[in-house]
């Protein structure tokens, strides 16, 4: 064999080895891509399954609310309210909690409604809610200075004027931030918007979260005295302008019949409440039928966590309207 032939043979061998190595590398890459594709498809299928389970749980929860709030009175011992419920499925478990969102202070009621000017009745009602906020903060022993400033900043965030309240913040405050922004000049869509306020800290938010809400209305809903828990007694004290302190409010709720009051007049006949000599505005601050409900639905499977949070409104005609829906994998 000639030297040239030997050289060509060696070159062909090296080329063959390089080609085999290249094909092996491509094969490994293809296997990895196929493995990732299978994993991704499986994850998408699992997430899709969890998503549809959450939607089914939502439909079920809405039906529970409609069936459980028939008539003008809600009972106190509703098993589906406040207590977490769990349901096993073929692929995992669905957890759900429904809470009464009438029983909170609506921060969107602290400011003038969007559009139009205040009339005397609106002005008096807004001032009443602001006073109620102050009383609630005092009843739950929130830090006085931050609570006062927070109320002013909530008002400035919602109202349409550019004049800051004492302790408040308008656009000029937020524009000095490292990442500047402006006030919304409209009602808060979610309670978490309060985290954008200068006075609000994660610790303060966690402390106030059980007491405040952001409902899609400029009105403060009446408290449902049948569904108020004993721990929520400060809300009842604040509703009656602190003429009833938290300890007395707890005593009233302890005396509530196991099934709840059959009529609102039965509540007003409680000895402690009767001594307050409530006027019509005070009486309008409580009810036995709720309009707003929050639900948290969580689907857990072997490899997926999916949560749906939603605020719903129940109309007098028993229709459900959905508000503030949030969902995603967790």
Domain definitions of the chain by residue range = 110-214
The pLDDT of residue 26 is above 80: no
Query: CA neighbours within 13 Å on the CB side: how many for 23?
Result: 6
In terms of pLDDT, which residue wins out, 28 or 93?
A: 93
DSSP track, 162-179: S-PPTT---HHHHTTSSS
Q: What is the pLDDT of residues 126-172, one digit of tens each?
A: 999 999 999 999 999 999 999 999 999 999 999 988 899 999 999 99
The pLDDT of residue 97 is above 70: yes
Are 159 and 112 in contact, with CB atoms under 8 Å apart? yes
How long, in residues, is the chain?
330
For residue 37, give Cα distances in angstroms to 27, 30, 44.
Answer: 15, 10, 10
The pLDDT score that the predictor gives to residue 32 is 66
Interhelix angle 144-158/120-139, rounded to 10 degrees, is 150
The pLDDT score that the predictor gives to residue 113 is 59
Percent of the chain exceeding pLDDT 90 equals: 62
Please say whether the structural domain 110-214 has been given the CATH code 1.10.40.60.
yes
Q: How far apart are CA 8 and CA 24, in angstroms?
A: 24
Q: How far apart are CA 113 and CA 220, in angstroms?
A: 12
Q: How far apart are CA 320 and CA 330, in angstroms?
A: 27
Mean pLDDT of the region 67-74: 86
Q: How confident is the model at residue 309 (pLDDT cuts 50, 70, 90)?
A: very high
β 212-213/105-106 pair status: parallel
Q: How far apart are CA 259 and CA 73, in angstroms?
A: 11
Q: Rg (Cα) of the chain, in Å, rounded?
A: 29
The pLDDT of residue 39 is above 60: no
The token pair that represents 174 in the structure block: 């937020």
SS3 88: strand
Mean pLDDT of the region 98-118: 84
Mean pLDDT of the region 39-49: 64
Lowest mean pLDDT among 51-55, 116-120, 262-266, 325-329: 116-120
The pLDDT of residue 252 is above 60: yes
Neighbours of 207 (CB within 10 A): 16
The pLDDT score that the predictor gives to residue 133 is 97
Q: What is the pLDDT of residues 210-247, one digit of tens each?
A: 999 999 999 999 999 999 999 999 999 999 987 888 99
Are 94 and 57 in contact, with CB atoms under 8 Å apart? yes
In terms of pLDDT, which residue wins out, 274 or 70?
A: 274
């Amino acid at each position: 064999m000639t030297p040239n032939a030997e050289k060509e043979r060696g070159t062909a061998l090296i080329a063959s080895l390089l080609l085999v190595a290249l094909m092996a590398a491509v094969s490994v890459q293809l296997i990895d891509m196929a493995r990732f594709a299978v994993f991704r498809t499986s994850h998408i299928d699992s997430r899709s399954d969890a998503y549809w389970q959450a939607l089914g749980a939502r439909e079920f929860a809405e039906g529970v609310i409609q069936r459980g709030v028939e008539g003008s009175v809600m009972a106190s011992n509703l098993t589906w309210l406040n207590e977490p419920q769990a349901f096993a499925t073929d692929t995992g478990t669905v957890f759900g909690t429904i809470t009464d969102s009438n029983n909170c202070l609506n921060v969107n009621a602290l400011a003038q409604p969007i559009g139009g000017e205040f009339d005397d009745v609106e002005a008096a009602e807004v001032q009443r809610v602001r006073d109620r906020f102050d009383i609630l903060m005092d009843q739950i022993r929130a830090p006085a200075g931050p609570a006062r400033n927070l109320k002013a900043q909530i008002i400035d965030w919602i109202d349409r004027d550019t004049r800051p309240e004492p302790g408040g913040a308008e656009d000029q405050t937020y524009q000095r931030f490292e990442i500047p922004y402006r006030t919304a000049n409209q009602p808060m869509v979610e309670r978490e918007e309060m985290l954008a306020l200068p006075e609000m800290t994660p610790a303060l938010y966690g402390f106030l979260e059980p007491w405040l809400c952001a409902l899609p209305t400029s009105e403060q809903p009446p408290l449902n005295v049948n569904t108020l828990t004993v721990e929520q007694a400060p809300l009842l004290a604040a509703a009656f302008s602190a003429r009833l302190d938290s300890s007395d409010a707890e005593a009233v709720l302890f005396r509530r019949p196991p099934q709840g009051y059959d009529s609102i007049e039965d509540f007003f006949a409680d000895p402690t409440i009767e001594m307050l000599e409530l006027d019509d505005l005070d009486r309008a601050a409580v009810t036995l039928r709720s309009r707003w409900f929050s639900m948290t639905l969580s689907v857990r499977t072997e490899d997926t966590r999916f949560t749906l949070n939603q605020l719903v409104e129940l109309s007098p005609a028993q229709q459900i309207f959905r508000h503030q829906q949030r969902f995603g994998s967790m």
